[in-house]
Amino acid sequence: MLKSASTCALLATAALLFSTGCDKKVISTMGLPSIIGTVSVDSGPGARTISAYVGVDGTRLLPVTAINKETLDLSDYSTSGEYGWSSSWRGSDLHLSPGDPCVLHVFQSNGEAHTDTEVVPNLPRITTPETSFSLREDQSLDVAWVGTPGVDRYQIEFRIDYDYHRYNTFSLDTTITLPAGSTSYTLPGSVIFPAYVDSLEFGYCYITVTAEAGPDVGHECGGNVKGNGCGYFFAVSTAGSRCWIGSPDAIACPKPPAPTSQTARQFVERKRALIADQ
């Protein structure tokens, strides 16, 4: 039986799409809505709470979005045609605790999307460095924490700023991903203090340790969203610490504020940037 030219072109395109393997970070949605969201333990001042942030793109109409049975609030939306609805949803102080299972539901006019169950991680407890610790020139920075069970990985973020030699400024913002079960990491002194840095004056380093449950974006095929949609859903908790760089008595500088955990929205935005950076 002869195939038409258009049919052959379609088959060739499909073969190309499905032969690319797992090395691409962007999901081919095949017309399904794309979904990315998280629940996040907020470890700021006062009682700990759990919040959520979800972004949904490509629905026919605005959906209803929920974590378990708790409906989230519509944060923002826009449209550019029948299948062009984009929306974001947020919830604060959800009725969840560390150790609780959670599922994301996106109820749409033409079918529901739901995710695998993720368990809200306990908050990591950073034991090293202490907030009074002062890192000296060429010294490596050791970070240690008490782990939390049931997570898939840890992400350690370093934000470093200090002055050297007549108020030149060095800045570094880097994130390290470690497997589940990790409880320590050393950032080499050669990374913190490049060869051109001399006459160290003063600065500080913010450190966050995030326990993450959910797909490893960029290293796994597909996400954990099922039904009428595709994408990623995570449950995370983030602890923060800081330390000095150089001597706090070297110059008069204000004391840096205690670091706060990243918000659910910030986490989703970071994951979106990772997906787009392909």
Q: How many angstroms from the chain centroid is the CA of residue 115?
A: 17
The one-character DSSP state at 252 is: -
Residue 44, pLDDT score:
58
Question: Domain residue spans in the chain?
Answer: 125-213+238-258
pLDDT band at 258 (very low <50, low <70, confident <90, very high): low
As a whole number, mean pLDDT of residues 88-99 equals: 94
Question: What tens digit of pLDDT does each residue of 35-47 get?
Answer: 999 999 976 555 5
pLDDT more than 70, % of the chain? 81
Q: What is the dihedral of CA 23, 57, 236, 278, to 10 degrees?
A: 30
Residue 1 banded pLDDT, cuts 50, 70, 90: very low
For residue 86, which amino acid is it?
S
CB 50 within 8 A of CB 120: yes
Query: 204-250: per-residue pLDDT in tens?
Result: 899 999 999 999 987 777 799 999 999 999 999 998 888 999 865 55
**CATH number attached to the domain at 125-213+238-258:** 2.60.40.10
CB environment 236-262: b (16+ within 10 A), e (fewer) = bbbbbbbbbbbeeeeeeeeeeeebebb
In sequence order, the 6+-apart residues with CB closer than 8 A to the CB of 18 are none
The band of 253, judged by pLDDT with boundaries at 50, 70 and 90, is low
Average pLDDT for 92-120 = 95
The pLDDT of residue 162: 93
